[in-house]
């Protein structure tokens, strides 16, 4: 009876390749000689209810929350003399954002040189998002090379695809403070230095 039903279905769809095949107790859809209880040549879709597994659990989604979906690393070695401005852009680079409303975790180390002291804070921004304020820093007079950390979290930005990431320092007191005289100094700033670099890493986490 089962074989009669299979033959009837195959004849009804009028295809040269059999739609349903039976190999002992194995059934195939578009598979000439199914080796498993149910073999399908194509995508299996569950429109509701999900899939039930041998341990009795049911899975309704394969989406993984909290998974790292993209990592962008920026190694910036370009020496730049910074202006004594209220806001100083330190670097920009492109992040290829994979998912809408994902979370971006940012960490970095900024290389600088100068003998100024003051107080600044930091801001990270991707595309047209609202700037995420990172930790502020106090820096003391130091005529030699030094590094400063940076970290921030950006969440809720829906746009995907290549986006411009911008990192800046800006003065808390709206004065002309600046974190360094030179960004990524080299031997021309201090004979003990080779070319120094700033590094930044952006992790994109699935929502």
pLDDT in tens, 130-186: 888 876 665 655 555 678 888 899 998 999 999 999 998 887 665 666 777 888 999
pLDDT in tens, 98-138: 999 999 999 999 898 876 666 778 899 999 988 888 766 65
pLDDT of residue 34: 74
Residue 60 or residue 82, greater confidence: 82
Q: Beta strands 132-139 and 145-155: pairing type?
A: unpaired
Residue 58 or residue 154, greater confidence: 154
Q: Which of 75, 71, 96, 74 is nearest to 204 (CA)?
A: 71
Q: What span, in angstroms and rounded, lies between the C-alpha atoms of 18 and 186? A: 72
pTM for the full predicted model = 0.66
Name the residue ranges covered by the structural domains of the chain.
2-57, 68-205
pLDDT of residue 135: 65
pLDDT confidence band for 25 (50 / 70 / 90): confident
pLDDT of residue 137: 62
Residue 37 or residue 16, greater confidence: 37
- Please check the confidence at residue 62 and state whether its pLDDT lies above 70: no
Tell me the CATH number of domain 68-205, given options 3.40.640.10, 3.90.180.10, 2.60.120.1340, 3.40.50.9100: 2.60.120.1340
Max distance between CA atoms of the chain, in angstroms, equals 92
Mean pLDDT of 43-60: 72
- Helix, strand, coil tally for the chain in percent (to 5): 5, 45, 45
pLDDT of residue 65: 65
pLDDT of residue 206: 92
pLDDT of residue 20: 73
- What residue has token string 């360094």? 180
pLDDT of residue 64: 55
Whole-number percent of the chain with pLDDT over 90: 33
């Amino acid at each position: 009876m089962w074989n009669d039903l299979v033959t009837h279905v195959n004849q009804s769809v009028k295809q040269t390749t059999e739609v349903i095949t039976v190999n002992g107790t194995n059934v195939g859809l578009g598979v000439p000689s199914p080796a498993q209880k149910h073999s399908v040549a194509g995508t299996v879709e569950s429109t509701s209810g999900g899939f039930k597994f041998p341990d009795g659990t049911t899975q309704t989604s394969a989406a993984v929350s909290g998974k790292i979906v993209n990592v962008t690393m920026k190694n910036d070695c370009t020496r730049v003399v910074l202006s004594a401005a209220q806001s100083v852009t330190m670097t920009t680079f492109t992040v290829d954002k994979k998912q809408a409303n994902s979370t971006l975790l940012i960490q970095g180390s900024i290389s600088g040189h100068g003998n100024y002291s003051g107080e600044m804070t930091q801001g990270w921004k991707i595309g047209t998002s609202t700037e995420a304020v990172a930790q502020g820093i106090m820096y003391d007079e130091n005529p030699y090379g030094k590094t400063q950390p940076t970290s921030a979290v950006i969440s809720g930005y829906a746009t995907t695809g290549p986006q411009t990431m911008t990192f800046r320092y800006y003065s808390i007191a709206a004065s002309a403070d600046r974190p360094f005289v030179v960004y990524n100094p080299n031997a021309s700033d201090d004979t003990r230095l080779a070319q120094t670099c700033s590094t930044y890493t952006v992790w994109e986490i699935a929502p």
